[in-house]
Amino acid sequence: MAEPSPGAVATTPPPHAVVLTGAPLTLADVVAVARDDAPVHVGPAAVAAMRASRAVVEALADDVVPHYGISTGFGALARRHIPAARRADLQRSLVRSHAAGSGPEVEREVVRALVLLRLATLTTGRTGVRPVVARTYAAMLDAGLTPVVPEHGSLGCSGDLAPLAHVALAATGEGEVRDRHGALHPAAEALAAAGIEPLVLAEKEGLALINGTDGMLGMLALALHDVATLLTTADVAAAMSVEALLGTDAAFAGDLVALRPHPGQAASATNLRRLLAGSQVMASHRTLTEAGELACTRVQDAYSLRCAPQVHGAARDTVEHARLVATRELASAIDNPVVTRDGRVESNGNFHGAPVAYVLDFLAIAVADLASMSERRTDRLLDPARSDGLPPFLADDPGVDSGLMIAQYTAAGVVSELKRLAAPASVDSIPSSAMQEDHVSMGWHAARKLRHAVDGLTRVVAVEVLTAARALDLRCAGGLRPAPGTEAVRALVRAHVAGPGPDRYLAPELEAVVGLVRTGAVRAAADAAAGPLA
């Protein structure tokens, strides 16, 4: 079958392009295309693989034996044989009927990740689509055209059907898209403006475009990128709190941590030691009395300080497990049926989202616990009964001023929500398609929860950074110097938020610090002064 030109296809890969060869993408590739609009190029090896598998599909199109997705209906309708004259209608109807999402639009970066990941599977040559299908998806990404995908519609089995169908619908010139500036357009008009010919789907192609775990995997890739920064930032916040609360780094000693050889715990403890090294604040309460005894009699800190490496480290190990699962999924060719290397077209169950769904839920648990411990440190900094001499709520004139009292309320409210979001989605299943699809993963829902959870953790850690920075200001008013790592973060915060004083409108200051946490600026400042941090 002749291949119409999709338009706007580069003949050579532009600089820094993500080149699709049929080999697995990396997590960094996904983030680069989803967030940074990195260009995408379909390489010649991928084109050759797609042409080979397409030949297999076309050879079966006239077979009297029914083949799922080529000459049959779908799901519970798979026993219906479709005559050759109706097979183009079959694929078009599949996409139209499955584009049945509802609710608010999914974020641009998520849709772009979803499109890229489906494209990556197409280029493996295991789906039987023509190269023009892949080139059209690449052209849409490069043109900045983002199909409108509603939030609700996927059960995470048979792939993220409805979200992927909305993308396929846009590629055929139906539905709506947003341009790179966010303006909404009918898909046909936007494709025409970009010089992209709408797809006319041939046998199996509609099915190949909707049968993957790409939505949940895309959200997992983005979450892993964000949580990696937040893990280190949580260590930074904990170090600031330990220092401001006159805690000790003795419990973070390498030989003690090695007694329980979890790699994440070791990495977190190393970060804390580096961040607290050289602190005059910590040294100040290790002085001796005239009798030669330590002036400070406290022998151990509260769990939220002393056990930070254990909790933060367990979260790190959880993230590494999730990264392993994501890497395996990126190396997968998910479709049903799939074209094997020896030319068979076989039904399978690889579209089931359980492997991804489980780690999405697992990450939500770790995120909630990180936030819970962070909020406890914030509360300790504000409580004069536990803060070792700091004013109540770090207020300028307690009673007249409330200081950061309500910032802790905000953190507590978010933590409460994160506990609800930690309830797993993957243990649920509602049968669909007349009981043909009688067990589903709900992985899309697990991914949507995790996105909210990562945002919540960002905000809770920001409250701790804001609070600990003010506590260090007050603790150091007599001339003591914090450790270089914590001081760098305190100075960064002060470049955006004023120091202690009478009460001010607090929400903009908190949002400023949320931005510093989210962009990685807090981590970068600490790393430059005390690093390298893990």
> Which sequence positions are flagged as catalytic?
68
- Cβ burial 493-527 (10 Å sphere, 16+ → b, else e): beeebeebeeeeebeebbeebbebbbebbbbbbbb
Q: Which is nearest to 65 in space by CA: 345, 341, 436?
A: 345
Q: Edge-to-edge strands of the sheet including 184-186?
A: 146-147, 176-178, 184-186
What distance in Å separates the CA atoms of residue 180 and residue 178, rounded to the nearest whole number? 7
399, two tokens: 């009673």
The 10 Å CB-count burial string (b at 16+, else e) for 160-187 is: bbbbbbbbbbbbbbbbbbbeeeeeebeb
Contact residues for 325 (Cβ-Cβ < 8 A; gap 6+): 220, 355, 356, 358, 359
Residue-by-residue DSSP string for 66-99 = --TTTTB--GGGTT-B--GGGHHHHHHHHHHHH-
Judge contact between 194 and 145, C-beta under 8 A.
Answer: yes
* Residue 222 · residue 274 · CB < 8 Å: no
Answer yes or no: are the C-beta atoms of 334 and 351 closer than 8 Å. Answer: yes
3-state secondary structure string across 381-441:
HHCCCCCCCCCHHHCCCECCECCCHHHHHHHHHHHHHHHHHCCCCCCCCCCECCCCECCCC
Which run of H or of E encompasses 339? strand 338-339
Is there a contact between 197 and 6 (Cβ–Cβ < 8 Å)? yes
